Chains A and B, each alone.
Chain A
């Protein structure tokens, strides 16, 4: 491996194990730390929902095998307690969104790939980058730890609606952990924006940025501006819990027969407004990096330029801006003035248009291509119809009148899981296969990758498609025992279908995990640029040395110059002079 030019300058890059792998300031090490940590949290969040889904499929029956291993306070005789069920539900959402997907899409992929794609030696603020990770990890651990602390984990849903969240046990630790995680995200967002704007290689104008970089930039701006309101909201809820204030509590509440001794004067709906002001942009924080990943892989896998680069980028920026004024479409039935709903109805319909545009451009990109069905490509192709289902089913939810019936039913769960799981997670898995050679210089096994793909895609649909049918039958969310209400009985068999699919989905992740571990330790080295890709991350060694590029790269063209007429090869890298 060539000794990079920049090595001598990196006086702070120690050679000891601790400096190199634990408190590293290298964006690549931090990226991999994020990768493995967020995968851990994804597995934990998934394990929680697998437990929870037992109760949904077979309410009140003891959990086989592991049921007896759970503490009595969680599941006496293997039967899940309703408190524990609610804890699992709340923590599943929190962990998957804030500790799993965002850190994977932004912390891992963004951290590792973005500086490489812009030809930078590192992030703009390497130490700040390290600090982001070292806030994220303890924040996440605190969140997990809350299960064994007195009061248990939060059990008021990941949305933590007041007053329930204020009177329920377990919420304080959730809030503290959230403040830590939010701070971590804010530091990361500042870093990403400055890096993208300021650290670009010579010749890499904004119009030549890969779509993935654009996606990360818009995401970082959303995080930067949407997270502080949630931080403020969390501080206020924390005050309500520990200082006895009543920001979210009106006077005269009687909880469980006891009059609540608070001054009152607060408003429960204020929390919802502040929460969704973050949480709607958060949806795009979840989805934009995945769109970026899919765009990269599709351009590479079709061997042709991405269709409508400008449209995609403009759409992403437009989505980002609009996402700040759609939040109350989560609140049509919240008791907010129904006249306000019409405004949010219109903005919601407007924001669907650029999403359709991005999807259309990605599909159109296939036309005239020479499509390789590699594993990352399979995941990216599956993203298109499945994310499409997620988007389409948002329509009856975003429309005020039909939302009256579908709001807070399984239809909602189906909708956003199609977006976030069969959309985002599928794309992140594809991204893992695509960039794994960059991270480790070794390629994941293709055969097992395809097994993983088909199993995953089919099982995910098995989990989430039945939810639309349940939602149309009126099954509400977050029911400990769905069979306690008559109108849920007819679709109860579908809960079994979903649950069995979820457990099967877990089995199909085993080849993936084994594949990763095996390849890291036993895999054979592959070529430096196995996908014959044009973007800058492939202009350095795989894995890149500290400092990334031997000498600062220079960019001569746009990101997707595949199959250019009269070119010798069907790919012309960005950094090769013509």
Chain B
């Protein structure tokens, strides 16, 4: 979604600003994503400030699991950077290893998240339970969708590499995928303390 497939001309057009189209596009896309999550965080703050009482995140949510997930996501950001480095070094096997690890860690995050959700549902906590759970499920749910999107793009990169390893746009695309993946990671870095620790 962030970078469209090969366009007929732009690859030959020298970008007026000197920044490649794809990179500029991804940054702009991320700007709109920032607005999206900023809105959600603002909503959270407004609702919480108006609420007569608000449960302590660490008492009702599973902090160990979330900490594990934080570690998983941060590690996946590192492997993503390494995947980009391998692509730059033209180390094909290394790239597959690293992008594969990134994808696996993304899935691991989702699996942990699923356990967390499952436990909540098991105890009868649903988005409709109260405003705290409404915020918790909506924000982590939307973040989860972004993780799925990121995994999807990384899978696409891994598949695309098989035939387009030499494509002039290949390294750029890995970089854009990385930018997006880091963004997903950063959102979690805000969500984790915001929901679990404050």
Direct touch of chains A and B (CB < 8 A): yes
- B13-63: which residues lie under 8 A (CB-CB) from chain A? 13, 15-17, 19, 21, 24-25, 28-29, 31-33, 35-40, 43, 46-47, 50-51
Q: What is the chain A residue whose CB lies nearest that of B46?
A: A270
Partner-B contacts on A (CB < 8 A): 6, 9-13, 25, 120-122, 124-128, 131, 186-187, 189-191, 193-194, 197-200, 204, 224-229, 231-233, 235-236, 239, 243-247, 262-267, 270, 274, 547
Residue on B nearest A223 in the bound complex, by CB: B32
A228 CB contacts on chain B under 8 angstroms: 32-33, 35-36, 39
Which 10 A/B pairs are nearest by Cβ-Cβ distance?
A244-B128, A265-B131, A245-B134, A228-B36, A228-B35, A232-B39, A128-B4, A127-B4, A198-B15, A229-B39
Residues of B contacting A232 in the complex (Cβ-Cβ under 8 angstroms)? 36-37, 39-40, 43
A262 to B130, CA, bound (A): 8
Contacts A224-B32, A235-B142 known; A125 to B21 CB distance under 8 Å?
yes
Residues on the B chain within 8 Å of A243, using CB: 126-128, 134, 137
Residue among A200, A244, A245 with max Cβ neighbours from chain B (10 Å): A245
Tell me whether A10 and B21 are in contact in the complex, defined as CB-CB below 8 angstroms, given that A120-B13, A229-B35, A247-B43 are known contacts: no
Q: Which of the listed residues B3, B8, B46 has the most CB atoms from chain A within 10 Å of its own CB?
A: B8
The reply to whether B31 and A13 form a contact with Cβ atoms under 8 Å apart is no
Contact A547 B9 (CB under 8 A): yes
The verdict on B198 contacting chain A, using a C-beta distance below 8 Å, is no
How close is B46's CB to chain A, nearest CB, in angstroms? 6
Q: Tell me if B67 counts as interface (CB < 8 A to partner A).
A: no
- Do A6 and B138 touch across chains, with their CB atoms under 8 A apart? no
Inside 8 A of B12's CB, which chain A residues have their CB? 9
- Please determine whether B130 and A224 come into contact, CB atoms closer than 8 angstroms: no
Bound-state CA distance A194–B32 (Å) is: 14
Given A127-B4, A264-B131, A547-B9, A193 and B39 contact (CB-CB distance below 8 Å):
no
Tell me the bound Cα distance from A121 to B1 in angstroms.
22
- B contact residues around A127 at 8 Å (CB): 4-5, 7
Which B residues are CB-close (under 8 A) to A547?
8-9
With a 10 A CB-CB cut-off, give which of B3, B7, B51, B128 has the most chain A CB atoms.
B7
Interface centre among A187, A190, A247 (most CB of B within 10 A): A190
Residues of B within 8 A of A235 (CB): 138, 142
CA of A56 to CA of B32, assembled, Å? 41
Q: Is the CB of B7 within 8 A of A266?
A: no
> Closest B-chain residue to A9, C-beta based?
B8
Give residues in B with beta carbon < 8 Å to A: 1, 3-10, 12-13, 15-17, 19, 21, 24-25, 28-29, 31-33, 35-40, 43, 46-47, 50-51, 126-131, 134, 137-138, 142
Complex: how many Å from CA A226 to CA B50? 25
The reply to whether B32 and A126 contact each other, CB–CB distance below 8 Å, is: no
Contact flag A224-B17 (CB < 8 Å), given A231-B36, A245-B127: no
Chain B residues within an 8 Å CB radius of A124? 7, 10, 21, 25
B46 near A267: Cβ-Cβ < 8 Å:
yes
Tell me whether B17 and A197 are in contact (CB under 8 A). yes
Count chain A CB atoms within 10 A of each CB in B10, B36, B37, B50 and give the residue with the most.
B10
Are B24 and A236 in touch, CB under 8 angstroms?
no
Is B15 a contact partner of A122 (Cβ separation < 8 A)? no
**Does A247 contact B134, Cβ atoms closer than 8 Å?**
yes
From A9, A187, A191, give the contact of B9 (CB < 8 A).
A9
Question: Could you name 30 residue pairs across A and B whose Cβ atoms are closer than 8 Å?
Answer: A12-B6, A12-B8, A125-B3, A126-B7, A190-B28, A190-B29, A191-B25, A194-B21, A194-B25, A194-B28, A198-B13, A198-B19, A200-B16, A224-B28, A224-B31, A224-B35, A229-B39, A232-B43, A233-B39, A235-B142, A236-B138, A239-B138, A243-B127, A243-B128, A245-B127, A245-B128, A247-B47, A247-B131, A247-B138, A263-B129
On whether the beta carbons of A121 and B25 are closer than 8 Å, the reply is no
Taking CB as reference atom, which chain A residue is nearest B138? Answer: A239
Check A227 against B32 for contact (C-beta < 8 Å): yes
Separation of A264 and B37 alpha carbons in the complex (Å): 23
- Give chain A residues whose Cβ lies under 8 Å from the Cβ of B28: 189-190, 193-194, 224
Whether the Cβ atoms of A245 and B4 lie closer than 8 Å is no
User: Which A residue's beta carbon lies closest to that of B19?
Assistant: A198
CA distance A229 to B1 in the complex (A): 20
Q: Are B43 and A270 in contact (CB under 8 A)?
A: yes
Contact between A122 and B40 (Cβ–Cβ < 8 Å)? no
Bound CA span A332–B127, Å: 32
B29 CB contacts on chain A under 8 angstroms? 186, 190
Known: A264-B131, A266-B47. A125 touches B24 (CB 8 A): no
The CA of A191 and the CA of B3, in the complex, are separated in Å by 10
Q: Which B residue's beta carbon lies closest to that of A8?
A: B8
Assess A267 versus B47: contact at CB under 8 Å? Given A125-B21, A191-B25, A193-B28: yes
Q: In the complex, which residues of chain B have a beta carbon less than 8 angstroms from the beta carbon of A264?
A: 131
> Which residues on B sit within 8 Å (CB–CB) of A198?
10, 13, 15-17, 19, 21, 24
Task: Decide if A131 touches B9 in the complex (CB within 8 Å).
Answer: no
CB distance from B155 to the nearest CB of A (A): 19
